[in-house]
Amino acid sequence: MLENASFHMTPDEFRRHGKTMVDWIADYYERIESYPVLSQVKPGEIRASLPKNPPAHGEPFESLLGDVAQKIMPGVTHWQSPNFFAYFPSNASFPSILGELLSAGLDVQGMLWATSPACTELETHVLDWLVDMLGLPNQFLSTSSGGGVIQDTASSASLCALLAAREHATNYATNDRGCNGLLVAYTSTQAHSSIEKAVKIAGLGRDNLRLIEVDESFAMRPEALAAQIKRDRDAGLMPCFVSATVGTTASNAFDPLRAIGEICREHGIWFHVDGAMSGTAALCPEFRSIHEGLELADSYTFNPHKWMFTNFDCNCFYVADRKALIQTLSILPEYLRNQATESGTVIDYRDWHIQLGRRFRSLKLWFVIRHYGVEGLRHHIRRHVELAQQFASWVRGDNQFELAAPAPLNLVCFRHRGGDAMNQEIMDRLNRSGDLYLTHAKLGGRFTLRVCIGQTHTELRHVQRAWERIREEAAHASASAKAIA
């Protein structure tokens, strides 16, 4: 090897390979429907195809791309396929991908305002835009007592909310002395598992998480919450945190925010709202009732990386009182001291979340918002809701199937009347076929199929085909059940 070999990719090579890579991604989207949506590989298959040892010598870019096609793609589940109806979506768009590329290219560390002022200021600006775009309460604006920050995920955001609630309830003593074992948190039986995880990480202990019962639409019962808080108070415990959900994961239920918020106000409890996927619906004024009562919340989170065409990861987290969050998470080692921080006139986002370092995530969100405009974003959200409502009407009109929960937005929970085993069989057959991908939930103890419509490029034809395939596989599953009987 020459002594002065740098091993680097030169700017010219980067330009060339970069163009190939962008072409590759564009081609991928053009042929995405030709792949099985759910990867069909067996556990261990991908690793077995990779060399045991890392390369001693650098390899040409072409051979990397060749291996992506041959070895990696079979193990990819195509979340961006228009036939992806599983979980909640994690949708992306070309402007977002380009924003991500730019963020990687600049690769700044935005932990402090001073380490890249644009990273902080664009983020604050875009998060303020979103308050307006979603019609969120003014307390979440950076120009009020609160403000927003981009986090990786809703899980991290809810953990930060809980930490701030914990400190708020104990006058910031828990940060010094650790948990007292008396703090109690509340959410519904239908809340996302990230709340339970946050309770474990924050040191409250799982026994101090109360899962409040839900009504027939799977929304939290406020009177059950009030009764549980009273019981805990009477037992000498310290209720400190309630998390309500705007669009539960299993069935898209909406907890009654106003009633829950009023209970929290009465007892001085931190009120957090998790709108992970469904929060995005508030882009459309006609869906804003999902946030009715949100002005009573101390914190709110939603994921543009689910339904707002912004590739993973991108979570927005808002607090009504930024001082409480900053006092909870702030640290100031000597090596981070700088004039801007000391002047008190800038935001240092490292005090708004768990990790120190942070990426320039607002770029991709900014690109998405500027490319689509509010009009374009609303258009697609409305279309997804319309398609889901169409799907729900087909289920209602077929006497072999039934709806398993209300379908207020873009998620339809339904089941074949043939029972749990039949529904499991239908789902497995569909997912094995690779034609579409859907997942299940248990509602009222019963196996329920879920079709969530939120993929960027899903159109009527995909939803029609999904319904046809569901009915076909239901017919096959019924026939084989009869044959066995």
Ligand X SMILES: Cc1ncc(COP(=O)(O)O)c(C=O)c1O
* Residues at the site binding ligand X, with contacts judged by CB under 6 A: 88, 153-155, 192, 194, 245, 248-249, 274, 276-277, 303, 315
Question: Which residue, 309 or 401, is less far from ligand X as judged by CB?
Answer: 309
Question: Which residue, 128 or 274, is less far from ligand X as judged by CB?
Answer: 274
**246: helix, strand or coil:** strand
Tell me how far, at minimum, the Cβ of 389 lies from ligand X, in Å: 20
Please list, in sequence order, all residues whose beta carbon lies within 8 angstroms of the beta carbon of residue 61, skipping any fewer than 6 positions away: 9, 13, 17, 20
Tell me how far, at minimum, the Cβ of 198 lies from ligand X, in Å: 10
The rounded distance, in Å, linking the Cα atoms of 341 and 359 is 19
Sign (positive or negative) of CA dihedral 39, 44, 49, 50: positive
Question: Which residue, 254 or 414, is less far from ligand X as judged by CB?
Answer: 254
DSSP state of 281: G
Q: Closest by alpha carbon to 245, among 279, 213, 222?
A: 279
Contact 225, 216 (CB under 8 A): no
Question: Which residue, 112 or 365, is less far from ligand X as judged by CB?
Answer: 365
With the CA atoms of 130, 132, 135 and 137 taken in that order, what torsion angle do they form, in degrees rounded to the nearest 10? 90
Polymer length in residues for the chain: 485
Q: Which residue is listed with tokens 């079979």?
A: 74
**8: helix, strand or coil:** coil
Contact 402, 395 (CB under 8 A): yes
Tell me how far, at minimum, the Cβ of 249 lies from ligand X, in Å: 4
Tell me how far, at minimum, the Cβ of 308 lies from ligand X, in Å: 12
Element (H, E) at 210: strand 209-212
The rounded distance, in Å, linking the Cα atoms of 448 and 450 is 7
Chain mean position to CA 345: 32
Query: Which stretches within 310-357 are classed as H helix?
Result: 322-329, 339-343
Question: Which residue, 112 or 316, is less far from ligand X as judged by CB?
Answer: 316
Tell me how far, at minimum, the Cβ of 58 lies from ligand X, in Å: 35
Q: Name the token pair of 232.
A: 């805990």
Question: Which residue, 112 or 246, is less far from ligand X as judged by CB?
Answer: 246
Contact 309, 298 (CB under 8 A): no
458-478: b (≥16 Cβ within 10 Å) or e: beeebbeebbebbbebbeebb
Tell me how far, at minimum, the Cβ of 278 lies from ligand X, in Å: 8
Contact 362, 119 (CB under 8 A): yes
Tell me how far, at minimum, the Cβ of 316 lies from ligand X, in Å: 11
CA atoms within 13 A on the CB side of 50: 15
The rounded distance, in Å, linking the Cα atoms of 239 and 168 is 11
Q: Name the token pair of 108.
A: 């700044």
Question: Which residue, 305 or 416, is less far from ligand X as judged by CB?
Answer: 305
Tell me how far, at minimum, the Cβ of 212 lies from ligand X, in Å: 15
Tell me how far, at minimum, the Cβ of 181 lies from ligand X, in Å: 27
Q: Name the token pair of 213.
A: 């019962």
Tell me how far, at minimum, the Cβ of 312 lies from ligand X, in Å: 8
Question: Which residue, 430 or 441, is less far from ligand X as judged by CB?
Answer: 441
Question: Which residue, 141 or 276, is less far from ligand X as judged by CB?
Answer: 276
Question: Which residue, 139 or 190, is less far from ligand X as judged by CB?
Answer: 190
Question: Which residue, 88 or 271, is less far from ligand X as judged by CB?
Answer: 88
Tell me how far, at minimum, the Cβ of 7 lies from ligand X, in Å: 37
Element (H, E) at 62: helix 61-67
